[in-house]
Structure 1
Amino acid sequence: MPDTISQRTNRSEDGDLTVVGHVWAPPGAARAVVLVHGVGSSSRAYAKLAGHLVEQGEVHAVDLPGFGASPHLRRDVTVREHASAVARYIRQYVLDAGLPAPVVVGHSMGAQVVGQMLADHPDVATAGVLVGPTAEPGTRTIPRQAVRLAVDAVGEPPRTIGVLIVDALVRCSVPYYLGQLRHVVDYRLEDVLPRTTVPVVVVRGARDPVAPAHWVEMLAARAPFGAHRTVRGRHHAMDADPAGVAETVLEAWLAAERGIG
């Protein structure tokens, strides 16, 4: 990051649910983007993408409750609870700071969290970017998703897999991770997106076995203001093609500023 970029850490707490935000802010930032990771992952999944976005506005890469730098939890947390926790974070650290509603990016399970948040809390985001959403009808079992993730892992960079393994097995407790997986495979994103009222862009890596093209296109069609994009890479497209994903975020920012959608 350039020397002019300031860094800070935020904590948003409500009972036992804590969202930790890792923030990079250029001088005089007038807009923000919030990045939401997938199951077993953390804000570290967005290291490359954050570097491509930070000169355009504040970047808030969050750790969801029970993941990353957030405290471990002794109970299960639903997708809706995660969505409410992220919405609370945005109100506290983006909207109350005087910035306009941000573009919110979610990857994999994070796409489910963002979709739910857009439906339940329409005031906190100006657009949503859903990267590699999972799981489409007919694949909603842990074994089927595990096979897809294993196929994906063969082609992902070793660093990407290494960070994910540490986050899933060390920074997140295994029982919590397994409980969260059950929510991921049961969640019906296609039933939530019709309730969204802001632009939603669904993004997949061109070689992503977890989010096939037909599923991404279907989700985009379900959102009232939906679109879809394909970038380079596999499931972790924001790692393989951060410039391509950043371009999609910038398009969403500019469209919001022009009042489109």
Structure 2
Amino acid sequence: MPSSYLAPQGTPVTLLEFEHAGATLIAETFGDGDPTFLLLHGIGMGRSVYLDVAQRLRGRVIALDLPGFGEAPEPTRTLTMERHADLVAAYLRHVDAGPVVVIGHSMGSQIGAELAARHALLVSGVILAGPTVNKAARNIGAQATYLLRDLVGERPLVIWRGAREYLRGGPHLFRKMRATIEHEPEKAFTRISAPVLVLRGEDDPLAPMSWCREIIDAIPGAQLEVIPDHGHGTLISDSEPAARLIQGFADAL
């Protein structure tokens, strides 16, 4: 049985293992009221890493472990970003949870973009946090270098949580990384009709300013916020500025 990671002690929580088309995700839901946030994690991560930001949000929070990450079992085959989005959409319809405010971090931003583009009625707003993959650096070597650079100076607790989740990602992590890097999120950006907020840590090498500007140029009305003194883990470490911007964006929808 999956464990509850995010809900404060004493808070009612629902844990659900959902299977669709040969892939299984784990969903942890807590809180109530509007809005409903859907939290999509980055590559090698899981919902447990986002404890800090999840507990700062007001409303209902649904945090996922995507197939082969966190506590979710390995899928029968590696999922593309599009298949991830279709699985998440099937889950949202199953629990009648839409429309949701999608918070996608890193790889989760790519899945969030596909969800909004392919299943628009399920999405009321989109936050693309540390959006990947910069089309000027779509190779594993460049992305790994940027990730290591981002970890310099990060808090030990964050590094430990991230390392633990990468290990849990299993022997297929390389294939999962390739699926992420081969995806072209700019094709989804142009089809998003929901309001969009792009969040970038000022020192984030995986989401350079040039790439973030390309994103907001591709999505009419999209907003860009840069968080000073933060890197790629802006939703993981010292998340108060990100949570405040996310809540303000969601409350204005």
TM-score of the pair, normalised by structure 2: 0.91
What percent of counterpart residues are identical?
30
1:160 equivalent in alignment to 2:166: no
Indicate the structure with greater helix content: 1
Kindly indicate whether the alpha-carbon contact (under 8 Å) linking 2:24 and 2:75 is maintained by their aligned counterparts in 1: no
Kindly indicate whether the alpha-carbon contact (under 8 Å) linking 1:221 and 1:227 is maintained by their aligned counterparts in 2: no
Deviations 1:30-61 (A, max 9, x none): 331010001111001210001101xx211111
Residue in structure 2 matched with residue 57 of structure 1 by the alignment: 59
More deviation, 100-109/84-93: 84-93
The runs of 5 or more residues in structure 1 that have no matched partner are: 257-261
What is the number of residues matched between the two proteins?
A: 246
Residue in structure 2 matched with residue 234 of structure 1 by the alignment: 231
Kindly indicate whether the alpha-carbon contact (under 8 Å) linking 2:127 and 2:246 is maintained by their aligned counterparts in 1: yes
Residue in structure 2 matched with residue 82 of structure 1 by the alignment: 84
Kindly indicate whether the alpha-carbon contact (under 8 Å) linking 1:197 and 1:225 is maintained by their aligned counterparts in 2: no
Give the Cα–Cα distance (whole angstroms) in 2 for the partners of residues 163 and 195 of structure 1. Answer: 34
Residue in structure 2 matched with residue 41 of structure 1 by the alignment: 45
Q: Give me the CA root mean square deviation.
A: 1.6
Deviations 1:166-220 (A, max 9, x none): 1111x2212x211011122222222210100101111111111111111112111
Kindly indicate whether the alpha-carbon contact (under 8 Å) linking 1:234 and 1:240 is maintained by their aligned counterparts in 2: no
The runs of 5 or more residues in structure 2 that have no matched partner are: 1-6
Cα distance change, pair 141–2 in 1 and its aligned pair in 2 (3 A) = closer
Residue in structure 2 matched with residue 128 of structure 1 by the alignment: 126
Kindly indicate whether the alpha-carbon contact (under 8 Å) linking 2:8 and 2:55 is maintained by their aligned counterparts in 1: no
Cα distance change, pair 94–44 in 1 and its aligned pair in 2 (3 A) = farther
Instruction: State how 1:8-47 maps to structure 2 within 5 Å.
Output: 8-26=14-32, 29-47=33-51
TM-score of the pair, normalised by structure 1: 0.89
Kindly indicate whether the alpha-carbon contact (under 8 Å) linking 1:204 and 1:231 is maintained by their aligned counterparts in 2: yes
Give the Cα–Cα distance (whole angstroms) in 1 for the partners of residues 112 and 104 of structure 2. Answer: 6
